[in-house]
Structure 1
Amino acid sequence: MVKIVDNIGWLFFDKILRMGVGLLVGVWVARYLGPEQFGLLNFAIAFTGLFGAIATLGLQGVVVRDIVQNPQGTQYTLGTAAIMQLAGGVVSFLLVVAAIGYFRPNDPLARSVVAILGAIMLFKASEIAVYWFESQVQSKYTVWVQNGVFLVFAAIKIILILQGASLVAFALAMLAEQILVALVLLLVMWRYGLSLSSLQASAARAKTLFKDSWPLVLSGIAVSLYMKIDQIMLGQMIGNEAVGIYSAAVRISEVWYFIPMVVVASVFPAILEAKKRSEDEYHNKLLNLYKLMVAIGLAVAVPMTFLAEPIVVLLFGPAYVAAGAVLAIHVWASVFVFLGVASGKWFLAENLQALSLQRTAIGAAANIALNLLLIPKFGEVGAAVATVISYAIAGLFADLFQAKTRSMFYMKIRSFQIFSILEKNK
């Protein structure tokens, strides 16, 4: 138990450090680049992110599970996964380059930045080191590596700002960061775990791994569409500056998303224990968790609605003042994101991952349709409205249309009666 708690603590430290330092450095980069180039950078990140699921092939959970269940086959599992992700990375990179050539044929800067960031996919095979340490409950090593390199390149980005570097230089720095992480991760795995020379691969093992992981590839694509499509559609339909304004608001809005992950990871084991004792106790604890998620979401959304513009101007400067209106709307998505994180654990506990994928796919489809409708009329604000509605559909209303999840829909509706928590505790 001490080992597990220590492992979770390192992962939380990783999230909090990256969000804190990432926000500060990201704000500085945004101020330096201005809305137009900052928008292009975020467009490129979102565009390449659409193909990330193809590069990783959804293997993380499957590989970790198989190593834990069959330690004797670790060399074959990791070696085969590395070859699969190397092939997936090459395919993903080629798709990125071809797609940006089609969508931005007359924009050489966009094609260059996307190609540079797309090259990150070629190094996804190094994530086998992450899988190995996760299977050994030793994630502290990956946290050391990733955060050490992250801090070094945060300093490099500041130097680039002071030196008046170009947008391409920032993209190259991001690529160099991922290359260094990949190399050091493999070195650390060799030092504390397995050597690369001991890894082996087989077609039969690849077949069994892909058989288990392909639904996760589809889920990853759906999640990428769900999370990134708004920035891509803004860039294509309005322009890079609109993406820059929107991205500034999203940076502030999403900085709170680590909260439900921390809370749910802390309390869900106790909820699962309650399930063993009594279904009524299990459902009562779930309801209280949902109420807590709604309460925290509202505690974030309500003040941010009124403070959005001054916070944006304080952090990003007057050039981004239009992001205030976007933030005041987008921050309400947090209520449904928090509910979605909590109910995501319920889907796992009930072995309903297929329905969870369906829910995400519905949200992605709604987001695309609403963006097509709202962006031409309302620009960045329309994209924010589309995000909130689609998150509400995926995190709440989609549960109404399946018999197995309908009870969760009614429970979530009841969770908005958050003041009953206070009444019980009087």
Structure 2
Amino acid sequence: MLSKLSLQNLSKFKSHSGLRAIIANTSWLFADRILRMGASLVIGVWIARYLGVQQYGLFNYALAFVSLFSPIFTLGLDDVVVRHIIRKSSNKEEILGTTFWLKFLGGIASVLVAVGSVLFLGERETLKILLVTILAIVGIFRASDTIELWFQSQVESKYAVIAKNIAFLLNSLIKIALILTKAPLLAFAWVTLAEFVMSAIGLMIAYQIRGFSFWLWRWSSSVAKTLLKESLPLIFSGFAILIFMRIDQIMLGQMIGDKEVGIYSAAVRISEIWYFIPGAIVSSVAPSIYAAKEKSESVYYQRIGQLLRLLICISLAIALPMTFLSNTIIMVLFGNGYIEAGPILAVHIWTSLFVFMGLATSPWFIAEGLNHVSLGKTLTGAILNIILNLLLIPKYAGLGAAIATIISQAAAAFICNAFDTRTQKLFQIQMQSLLRFYKY
């Protein structure tokens, strides 16, 4: 029923001019995410079984710790840059060149901050420090994602998808080889870094094949100031979002131990694997929403409402069956050692409803120039998440962390909009979409 409604919602988008390209672009993004989802799930589960709960928890602790500093290398630029390229395509060399160098410098800064932070917190375990250092270096090579932003702005994501998936598939084969040769934990960190190095090379080749040259990119101080001025709230918002997504694992590691992180990470891996869906849809639909804002306010809000209802339908289609099948899924995939992850998954999966809603409204905040408002509500949710983790983790461990995540996500993506006059119209659209998701 819900999947049928979702398909009806998606077909509605096709009636709008120019959305044939959007559907094609989304299809490529879906193919990319489905391939990654399938391969990552199989290999990720294999790695989890191979490493065991303790080492798997340690690796995920390091990943979560490093991810907290990813806004330093992304600088909140992605959506802002896409919008600037669409508006000023003749100035693309300056926009792309400036974005690349900002991201590159941000990547260096993120390494220094991540390593400095883990040392500042008094960590003395050499393996954990090395894991954080290697995984943090990934941020430097993520500067090449600038090329992907260009393809995204032109609704030509297939070129980025092909380039990055070649790297992903090669990397997956290397991970399998590591498991078969009984490689140590540190080797999996190095191969994670290697994937982003290969992706960077692949994106540069794809850009050149399309007839463009990154040698023409130019740095512009004025463009840098403009981009950073717009993205600054998104940087802090990114920190807040990552607190939602990762602080639970870090707090579990600090308050309970690496084993509990391993159990919780198994549940989160299954729960969050679906987040590619709104990401792929929103990244393809966002340019048409920005364009509609310039032409017609009614069409603009109509598209936002359609996007919300579509993503709510999809999130419910995922959450309902996963709730009842959680124990079986964990047992089949991860084995007896991770059985405690079943109840956690049954609860955490409902976070997807509010994650999907939040991603659906992100183009609205950018189009309205209200990034600072988005920052305020995500910070509120992040602080709430930390407080709830402090209260719930000591008593309920991973289950408490899952409950804290749902409540804080609901507050940031939905409830906070009701208490600000600037976002009350959006809240009304969200409420209507939630209550009438089955109508289009």
Q: TM-score normalized by structure 1?
A: 0.88
User: What SS class does the counterpart of residue 345 from structure 2 fall into?
Assistant: helix
Corresponding position of 1:186: 204
- 8 Å CA contact 1:253–1:330 kept in 2: the answer is yes
- Bigger drift between 32-41 and 58-67 goes to 58-67
Q: Report whether the alignment pairs 1:214 with 2:242.
A: no
- 8 Å CA contact 1:271–1:286 kept in 2: the answer is no
Q: Report whether the alignment pairs 1:117 with 2:118.
A: no
Corresponding position of 1:97: 115
TM-superposed deviation, 1:264:
6.2
User: What SS class does the counterpart of residue 257 from structure 1 fall into?
Assistant: helix
Q: Report whether the alignment pairs 1:26 with 2:52.
A: no
User: What SS class does the counterpart of residue 200 from structure 1 fall into?
Assistant: coil
- Bigger drift between 361-370 and 410-419 goes to 410-419
C-alpha change, 1:284 and 1:94, in structure 2 (3 Å) is closer
Q: Distance in 2 between matches of 1:275 and 1:84?
A: 29
Corresponding position of 1:256: 274
Q: CA-to-partner distance for each residue in 1:348-396, whole Å, 9 max, x for gaps?
A: 5555433223222221111111111111221111101111111121122
TM-superposed deviation, 1:285:
8.1
C-alpha change, 1:150 and 1:104, in structure 2 (3 Å) is farther
Which of 56, 75, 78 is the equivalent residue of 1:38? 56
Q: Report whether the alignment pairs 1:174 with 2:204.
A: no
Q: Report whether the alignment pairs 1:337 with 2:355.
A: yes
- 8 Å CA contact 1:271–1:285 kept in 2: the answer is no
Q: Distance in 2 between matches of 1:282 and 1:70?
A: 21
C-alpha change, 1:339 and 1:39, in structure 2 (3 Å) is same
Residues 185-334 of structure 1: matches in 2 within 5 Å?
185-261=203-279, 293-334=311-352
Give the alignment's Cα RMSD to 1 decimal.
3.0
Q: Report whether the alignment pairs 1:16 with 2:31.
A: no
Q: Distance in 2 between matches of 1:393 and 1:96?
A: 28
- 8 Å CA contact 2:171–2:195 kept in 1: the answer is yes
C-alpha change, 1:293 and 1:63, in structure 2 (3 Å) is closer
Residues 5-154 of structure 1: matches in 2 within 5 Å?
5-154=23-172
User: What SS class does the counterpart of residue 105 from structure 1 fall into?
Assistant: coil
C-alpha change, 1:293 and 1:86, in structure 2 (3 Å) is closer
- 8 Å CA contact 2:75–2:234 kept in 1: the answer is yes
The amino acid across from 1:26 in the alignment is G
Identity in percent: 46
C-alpha change, 1:311 and 1:96, in structure 2 (3 Å) is same
Q: Distance in 2 between matches of 1:319 and 1:57?
A: 39
User: What SS class does the counterpart of residue 255 from structure 1 fall into?
Assistant: helix
C-alpha change, 1:9 and 1:169, in structure 2 (3 Å) is same
Q: CA-to-partner distance for each residue in 1:86-105, whole Å, 9 max, x for gaps?
A: 21111111011111112352
The amino acid across from 1:171 in the alignment is A
TM-superposed deviation, 1:157:
0.7
Q: Distance in 2 between matches of 1:165 and 1:174?
A: 14
- 8 Å CA contact 2:26–2:284 kept in 1: the answer is no
The amino acid across from 2:229 in the alignment is K
TM-superposed deviation, 1:216:
2.2
- Bigger drift between 138-147 and 258-267 goes to 258-267
Q: Distance in 2 between matches of 1:292 and 1:284?
A: 12
Q: Distance in 1 between matches of 2:376 and 2:148?
A: 28
- Bigger drift between 153-162 and 215-224 goes to 215-224
C-alpha change, 1:339 and 1:132, in structure 2 (3 Å) is closer
Corresponding position of 1:369: 387
Corresponding position of 1:379: 397
TM-superposed deviation, 1:3:
4.1
TM-superposed deviation, 1:76:
2.7
- 8 Å CA contact 1:104–1:110 kept in 2: the answer is no
Q: Distance in 2 between matches of 1:277 and 1:208?
A: 26
TM-superposed deviation, 1:418:
5.3
Q: Distance in 2 between matches of 1:89 and 1:270?
A: 30
TM-superposed deviation, 1:70:
3.2
TM-superposed deviation, 1:170:
0.5
Q: Distance in 2 between matches of 1:288 and 1:191?
A: 36
Q: Distance in 2 between matches of 1:186 and 1:108?
A: 35
Q: CA-to-partner distance for each residue in 1:64-87, whole Å, 9 max, x for gaps?
A: 333343344333332222222221
Q: CA-to-partner distance for each residue in 1:394-419, whole Å, 9 max, x for gaps?
A: 12211221123334445545555459
- Bigger drift between 212-221 and 283-292 goes to 283-292
Which of 390, 401, 422 is the equivalent residue of 1:404? 422
The amino acid across from 1:58 in the alignment is G
- Bigger drift between 171-180 and 188-197 goes to 188-197
Q: CA-to-partner distance for each residue in 1:256-308, whole Å, 9 max, x for gaps?
A: 334445666788869997998896x9878876765665554344333322321
**Structure 1, unaligned runs of 5 or more:** none
Which of 397, 408, 411 is the equivalent residue of 1:390? 408
C-alpha change, 1:56 and 1:405, in structure 2 (3 Å) is closer
Q: TM-score normalized by structure 2?
A: 0.85
- 8 Å CA contact 1:58–1:220 kept in 2: the answer is yes
Q: Distance in 2 between matches of 1:313 and 1:128?
A: 40
The amino acid across from 2:378 in the alignment is T
Q: Distance in 2 between matches of 1:55 and 1:109?
A: 24
**Structure 2, unaligned runs of 5 or more:** 1-17
